[in-house]
A and B are shown apart, each in its own frame.
Chain A
Amino acid sequence: MTDIVLDVRNLRVEFPTRKGVLTAVDDISLQIRRGEILGMVGESGAGKSMTGMAILGLLEPPGRIASGSIHLSGDRIDGLNDREMQQVRGRRIGAIFQDPLTSLNPLFRVGDQLVETIRLHTALDKTQARARAIELMREVGIPAVEERIDNYPHQFSGGMRQRIVIALALCAEPELIVADEPTTALDVSIQAQITALLKRLCRERGTAVMLVTHDMGVIAETADRVAVMYAGRLAEVGPVEDVVRRPRHPYTDGLMGSIPSLRSEVEELRMIPGAMPRLDAIPPGCAFNPRCAHAGPRCRREVPRLAGTGATGAACWLATEGAVA
Chain B
Amino acid sequence: MTIRSNAILEVDGLERRFDVSAPWLNRLIERKPRRTLRAVDGVDFVIQRGQTLALVGESGCGKSTIAKLVTGLHPPSGGAIRFHGDRDRLQMIFQDPFASLNPRWRVGRIIAEPLRTLRPGMDGAEVSARVDELLRTVGLSPADGLKFPHEFSGGQRQRISIARALAGEPEFLVCDEPTSALDVSVQAQVLNLMKRLQKEMGLTYLFISHDLSVVRHMADVIAVMYLGRIVEIQRTKDLFANPLHPYTRLLLETIPDLEAPQRDRAPMAGEVPSPVSPPAGCSFHPRCPIAFDRCRQERPQRRAAVHDRRVACFAAEEEGHGDV
Q: Which of A241, A256, A260, A266 has the most CB of B within 10 A?
A: A260
Instruction: Determine whether A258 belongs to the interface, using a CB cutoff of 8 Å to chain B.
Output: yes
- Per-residue CB contact flags for chain A residues 25-52 toward chain B (1 = under 8 Å, else 0) read 0000000000000000001100000000
Interface residues of B in 183-204 (CB under 8 A from A): 183-189, 191-192, 195
| Contacting residue for B184 out of A188, A240, A259, CB 8 A | A259
Task: Kindly list chain B residues whose C-beta atoms are within 8 Å of the C-beta of A245.
Answer: 261
- Per-residue CB contact flags for chain B residues 233-268 toward chain A (1 = under 8 Å, else 0) read 000010010000000001110111111011111011
Give the complex CA separation of A192 and B243 in angstroms: 20
Task: Kindly list chain B residues whose C-beta atoms are within 8 Å of the C-beta of A255.
Answer: 184-185
Task: Kindly list chain B residues whose C-beta atoms are within 8 Å of the C-beta of A191.
Answer: 254
In the complex, the answer to whether A188 meets B188 with C-beta atoms within 8 Å is no
What's the tally of chain B residues with a CB closer than 8 Å to chain A?
43
Instruction: Determine whether A102 belongs to the interface, using a CB cutoff of 8 Å to chain B.
Output: no
Give the complex CA separation of A43 and B156 in angstroms: 15
B227 CB to closest chain A CB (Å) equals 13
In the complex, the answer to whether A192 meets B58 with C-beta atoms within 8 Å is no
Instruction: Determine whether A157 belongs to the interface, using a CB cutoff of 8 Å to chain B.
Output: yes
Q: Which residue of B lies closest to A159 (CB)?
A: B271
In the complex, the answer to whether B257 meets A260 with C-beta atoms within 8 Å is no
A-B contact count (CB 8 A): 129
Instruction: Determine whether A263 belongs to the interface, using a CB cutoff of 8 Å to chain B.
Output: yes
Give the complex CA separation of A144 and B153 in angstroms: 46
A188-B210, A262-B212, A265-B216 given; A270·B258 CB < 8 A? no
A223 CB to closest chain B CB (Å) equals 8
Instruction: Determine whether A271 belongs to the interface, using a CB cutoff of 8 Å to chain B.
Output: yes
Instruction: Determine whether B59 belongs to the interface, using a CB cutoff of 8 Å to chain A.
Output: yes
In the complex, the answer to whether B256 meets A189 with C-beta atoms within 8 Å is no
Measured CB to CB, the residues of B under 8 A from A are 58-59, 153-156, 183-189, 191-192, 195, 210, 212-214, 216-217, 237, 240, 250-252, 254-259, 261-265, 267-269, 271-272
9 residue pairs A–B, Cβ–Cβ below 8 Å: A187-B59, A192-B265, A195-B267, A221-B262, A255-B184, A257-B188, A259-B213, A265-B237, A266-B217
In the complex, the answer to whether A220 meets B261 with C-beta atoms within 8 Å is yes
B140 CB to closest chain A CB (Å) equals 13
Give the complex CA separation of A17 and B296 in angstroms: 62
A214-B183, A254-B185, A270-B188 given; A262·B271 CB < 8 A? no
In the complex, the answer to whether B58 meets A189 with C-beta atoms within 8 Å is yes
Give the complex CA separation of A209 and B116 in angstroms: 55
Give the complex CA separation of A189 and B250 in angstroms: 8
A189-B268, A217-B258 given; A271·B184 CB < 8 A? no
Task: Kindly list chain A residues whose C-beta atoms are within 8 Å of the C-beta of B155.
Answer: 275
Interface residues of A in 212-247 (CB under 8 A from B): 214-218, 220-221, 223-224, 240-241, 244-245
In the complex, the answer to whether A275 meets B256 with C-beta atoms within 8 Å is no
Instruction: Determine whether A190 belongs to the interface, using a CB cutoff of 8 Å to chain B.
Output: yes
Task: Kindly list chain A residues whose C-beta atoms are within 8 Å of the C-beta of B252.
Answer: 262
Task: Kindly list chain A residues whose C-beta atoms are within 8 Å of the C-beta of B58.
Answer: 187-189
Q: Which residue of B lies closest to A44 (CB)?
A: B183
A192-B254, A266-B217 given; A43·B259 CB < 8 A? no
Q: Which of B156, B258, B264 has the most CB of A within 10 A?
A: B258
Instruction: Determine whether A268 belongs to the interface, using a CB cutoff of 8 Å to chain B.
Output: yes
